Amino acid sequence: MANHAAKSRTALGGRLRSMTDTNLLMSITIIVFVLMYLFAMIVLQKGFLKPQTLFNILNANAALIILSCGMTLVMITGGIDISVGGVTALVSMSCAVYLDYHGGSVFGSLLLALGIGLAFGLIQGYLVAFLEIQPFIVTLAGMFFARGMTTIVNTKQFNVTHEGFLRLKDARIIIPFLGSYNKRGDYIDAYIEIGVVVALLIVAILFFVLKWTKTGRNFYAVGGNKQSALMLGINVKRTVFLSHLLCGILAGIGGFVYFMHVGSGSPSHAAGAEMNAIASSIIGGTMLTGGVGNIIGTLFGVMSLALIQNIVSSIGLDQAWWTGITIAAMLCLFLVIQSVIIARRKRANLSAAAGSKE
């Protein structure tokens, strides 16, 4: 009898509960994104009907997508990395100086970017994983170090004039059939930048890694419960180290993509990028407490964030401060949603557990 009742209760208790936290939070994000885009297309129309608007969002945010992917990895293991914005600035500046003042090659600058990212990943990963220092403090120091170093490398903003690099920067990948006609009736091709391809490739690879490889699942296990993960035979320290290492490398790549997009070096580049990356991850359904999150969600998190900024400015609130306020409001909303959902589920589980005991 009791068993029967419990069964019907779980059936009633719904699909929602049988959904994993990761999928639930990601679905919310995707739904919100689609609704917002539909709203923009129907109410605001203007550019939102053109596919290029979507591509432009991608073009402008390719670097942020890569940074957010790294952030998501770290956050899934229960950590945080706020040095990514600083690393991005440092990479842009170093590459710019290397190309223009030291006559470096494009390939060399790419290596430089990767090297910087790798160095940050290695050191921060070591401090967090093996010396067990709070990730926030370590990466806060990393962020300040990177920002300071950017100024030490070069104080002034300047545009890169290296030819090979400019060719790469202006390279566009034409998307067939999705172009639009301008006022004079000329057909304009829809395009994306190389950075977008890199970003989407990284999203795809990481999605695969997190879903189908053992290493990927270890990230979730460690974030879910470090102690348990250790008992289950997972090398927790190595996993945490790996997440920071990957995040560092991705920050290097993201930095280079950013550099390709802006084509200049400046100490104020990528200001607040770390916060945007964290916000995107959270909006994309990654839990701060670790163990829950998804790369696809993160992609939509970045897109949602960019989209709402676009919407806000096309409504006419185009002053600079609205950007900060909108991001913060959205972040706040999703944080509260997360905290409420998790509290709800906990209660539901408790009563389910008590119920099954009767």
Partner 1 sequence: MTTKSARGKGESFLSGLLRHQIVIPIAALLLLAIFNLIVDPSFFRITFGYNSAGNPVLKGYPITIIDYGTELAILAIGMTLVTAASGGQDISVGAAIAIAGSVILRILCGTGESTDGLQAPIIVAVLVACVVAMIFGAFNGALVAFFKIQPMVATLILFTAGRSIAAWINHNELPVTSDAGFKAFGNFLPGIPIPAPCFFAVGCFIVTWALLKFTNLGLYVQSVGINEKTSRLNGLNPEFIKLVTYVLLGLCVAVSGFIKVARLGTINYSVIAKDIEMDAILAVALGGNALGGGKFNMPASILGAYVIQFLTTTLYKFDVQSDALSAYKAIVVIVLVVLSAPTVREKLSTLVKKLRNTNQTVPSA
Partner 2 sequence: MREGSVLEMHGIYKSFPGVKALQNVDFRLCAGEIHALMGENGAGKSTLIKVLTGVYQKDAGEIRIEGKGTVQIRSPQEAQRAGISTVYQEISLCPNLSVAENIFLGRGEEKLLSWRKMNQQAGKLLDSLGIRVKPTQQLASCSIAVQQMVAIARAVDMDCRVLILDEPTSSLDESEVAKLFQLMRDLKKRGVGIIFVTHFLDQVYDVCDKITVLRDGKLVGEYAIENLPRVELVSKMLGKELDDMADIKNDIPVFNEEKAAPVYEVKNLSSTEGIEPFDFYIRRGEVNGFTGLLGSGRSESVRAIFGADKVTGGEVRMDGKSVKITKPIEAMKNGIGYLAEDRKRDGIIGDLSVRENIILALQVKTGFFKPFSKAQQIKFADEYIKLLDVKTASVNTPIKSLSGGNQQKVILGRWLLTHPKYLILDEPTRGIDVGTKVDIQKLVLKLASEGMSVTFISSETDEMLRTCSRLIVMRDRKQVGELTGDQLTQNTIMNTIAGGEKE
Site for partner 1 in 33-92 (CB under 8 A): 80
Cα–Cα distance measured from residue 108 to residue 110, given in angstroms and rounded to the nearest whole number:
5
Length of the chain: 358
Whether the Cβ atoms of residue 223 and residue 291 lie closer than 8 Å to each other: yes
Q: Which of 272, 349, 350, 356 binds partner 1 (CB under 8 A)?
A: 272
- Coil, strand or helix at 187: strand
For partner 1, give the closer residue by CB, 125 or 267.
267
Show the tokens assigned to 268.
């104020």
Show the tokens assigned to 19.
């959904």
Does 186 participate in binding partner 2 (rule CB under 8 A)?
A: no
- Per the listing, tokens 């223009």 go with 100
How many residues at the interface with partner 2, by CB under 8 A? 38
Q: At what angle do helices 295-315 and 21-39 cross, to 10 degrees?
A: 30
Does 220 participate in binding partner 2 (rule CB under 8 A)?
A: yes
Please choose which of partner 2, partner 1, none residue 215 contacts, taking the beta carbon within 5 to 8 angstroms, the exact cut-off set by kind: partner 2
Does 331 participate in binding partner 1 (rule CB under 8 A)?
A: yes
Whether the Cβ atoms of residue 88 and residue 249 lie closer than 8 Å to each other: no
CB of 154 to partner 1, least distance (A): 11
CB of 34 to partner 1, least distance (A): 25
Which among 61, 108, 59, 114 has a CA at the least distance from the CA of 87?
114
Q: Which of 175, 200, 230, 341 binds partner 2 (CB under 8 A)?
A: 230
Q: Binding segment for partner 2 among 40-48, 119-127, 177-185, 218-226 (CB under 8 A)?
A: 218-226
> Is the backbone of residue 264 left (phi > 0), alpha (psi -120 to 50) or beta?
beta
> What binding mask, one character per residue, do residues 196-215 give for partner 2 by CB under 8 A, x or -?
----------------xxxx
- Per the listing, tokens 């949602």 go with 304
- Coil, strand or helix at 158: strand
The footprint of partner 1 (CB under 8 A) covers 80, 127, 130-134, 136-138, 140-145, 147-149, 151-152, 155, 267, 272, 275, 278-279, 282, 288-289, 319-325, 327-329, 331-332, 335-336, 339-340, 343
The footprint of partner 2 (CB under 8 A) covers 17-22, 212-215, 217-218, 220-221, 223-225, 227-235, 291-292, 345, 349-354, 356-358
